[in-house]
Chain A
Amino acid sequence: MSFTAIVLLVAIATSAAGFVAMRLRLGALPPSYAPARGSSAAGVAYAFTVAFAPWAKESASRHLPSYLAGIAYHAAVFAALARLVLSLFGPPALSLLDAATAAALAPGLLCGVGLLVKRCVDARLRALSVPEDFFVNGLVDAVLAAGLVASLRPAALPVFQLAGALLIVYAPLGKVRHMLFLFTSRRALGAFFGRRGVRPSARARGVLGV
């Protein structure tokens, strides 16, 4: 195993330990005692399926370019993470795998840079932002760029692994933590609206068959 692969492995282990510790510290979601009007399970199912549809929420439907850019960006991040993990096991490069990685990372990188530019030029978004927002977006973009280069030039894989290791180690510390908490939040909010019979809406209930 190469030096950079070992660094990456250590980063993954450290980050995983950090996330586990955070989740344990968070504790269990509080129980519910009021009699349900709807179904928590249906609400959670909705939150992790239909609620991602571009038409399901105004934040998506009214801001379709930003929302779709965000989806492409996050898909690229997951693709990059998967490619990093695979790089620990296989040969430095597989042509088919690299082609798939490049196909996911290129549009994701473009969208990531676009979202960074938006955060810089949109006065309202800039006012809302903290320095870390720019740093994290830039760091992720750098990882995606390194991944894209590595998929085209396998010799650049160590750079991709090192950049990825930095992002992975950083993940539990700052806003990237949302990759863990998003699941808890979505589950909690889905259960909230599901239990009260508000979500899934009548239309979404038809889609989900509940």
Chain B
Amino acid sequence: MTGAAERALQVLRDGLDARTAAFLSSCVRCGLCADTCHVFLADGDPGSTPAAKVERIAALFRRHHTLLGRLAPAFVGARDLDDDALQALAAAAFGRCTVCGRCALNCSVGLDPAAIVRFARSVLSAAGMVPRGIRANADLALATGNNMGISREDLLETVAWLEQDLRDTLGDDTAAMPVDRAGARVLYALNPREVKFFPLSLSAAAAIFHVAKESWTLTSTDFDITNYGYFAADADSARAIAGQLAARTEALGVEELVVAECGHGYRALRWEAPEWFGRPWPFRVRSFVEVMAEYLADGRLRLDPAKNTARVTLHDPCNLVRNGGVIEEQRVLLRAAASDFVEMTPNREDNYCCGGGGGMLAASEHAAKRVESGRIKAEQVRATGAKVVASPCHNCIDQLMELNKVYKLGVEVKTLAEIVADALVLPAAPHS
């Protein structure tokens, strides 16, 4: 047995919690989950069904955790953990699954295939078999505080010109994008892609905070909400990455960490990280979507839907919605900010993954499968007749932009903040 297989075997033997072990012992291979999965719907390959993906790791589990698996492996379909088994597992767990959890919601038995795939990923992570792009992003976040290696100087420079742009746009010289302001009520943490490629979503958030008269700040270091350690199911990296932002949040003494529009970032920080650390955070964690909806409900934002007249549809990010519980807030916002909002079918927690989740966008070796599996989402978008697709997740937005090109959807893809900012009814500015 190679060193990689030995390390993987150790996790397979010792890394199981009761929840995952129960799930692994519950699948009866009925196969009724097949067409709940967008990957299978797109490629029709029996190996892409949730049950088939579960079986890749369940076969190893039976070999090393059950009596019949040890005594009669062929009879129960148990398999030795070797390099071939790991290769097949990697193709299934990283190449054919976005860990979106739609199968979990629909499993007739009531187990969670996504949790099982995540466990499979942890086995692969121990073997050093995480896709290079995911591993590299995790390592860069650990080394520099964000997954794109953006320096403090670069961030400050970007914020400076965005702040000037914000003042010009709002016609208000008091508009500001504070950085490292200790004692602010809210720390707004970012997806590095906003800084590098989508500054409009950052300035949209700033405009919303300004109009809502929020006490807020950015941080110049450790601002990254993404967590590629989570995608890799590498517990140590995931914990360390989340810990960097948590430490910065505590150092600034804010009440609340507001996570920019990023599905997995929200899930990792809001739901998973407290479990990794074995304690709740000493600060509140919310998505910016929730915060915007609260501003609207409290009358701190006024929106004019006539400012967004093109038909808008909404893509529900799996980690924010199905796995995060933020379901209605984005709808409240879009109804207030756009005059022609239409739902996809299915929607909310029943939505299909865009195909870019689970780290797939960073795994270039699986790019073809990612685009192929996105066909289901592309068909959903096309059926709405929308000209704009809103999605409160930068990861989904990247995938939707690619689907837009590949499947010629002819849509514009926007964050929710951008649409809300476009609809803002501005108060009279003190200086102009």
Contacts and interface: CB of A to CB of B under 8 A. Distances in A.
A and B form one complex: yes
Interface of A: 26-30, 32-35, 37-38, 47, 51, 57-60, 62-63, 66-67, 70, 122-125, 127-133, 135, 173-175, 177-178, 181-182, 184-186, 188-190, 192-193, 196-199, 201
A198 B108 contact: no
A128 B280 contact: no
Interface string B258-287: 000000000000111111011110000000
Nearest to B272: A34
Given A33-B279, A196-B323, A178 B18 contact: no
The binding surface of chain A is classed by DSSP as helix
Contacts of B36: 58-59
A178 B25 contact: yes
B110 A186 contact: yes
Interface string B22-52: 1101111111111110000000001001011
A33 B277 contact: yes
Nearest to B278: A33
Interface residues of B, number: 56
Given A130-B76, A178-B26, A182-B110, A193 B105 contact: yes
Nearest to A51: B110
B75 A135 contact: yes
Nearest to B33: A59
Contact of B271 (A28, A34, A129, A175): A34
Given A30-B17, A33-B277, A196 B76 contact: no
20 contacts: A27-B17, A29-B18, A29-B19, A30-B18, A32-B274, A33-B278, A34-B271, A34-B272, A59-B30, A128-B49, A129-B29, A132-B68, A174-B68, A181-B26, A184-B26, A189-B104, A189-B107, A192-B112, A196-B271, A197-B325
Contacts of A178: 25-28, 109
B278 A181 contact: no
B113 to A, nearest CB: 10
A175 B54 CA distance: 14
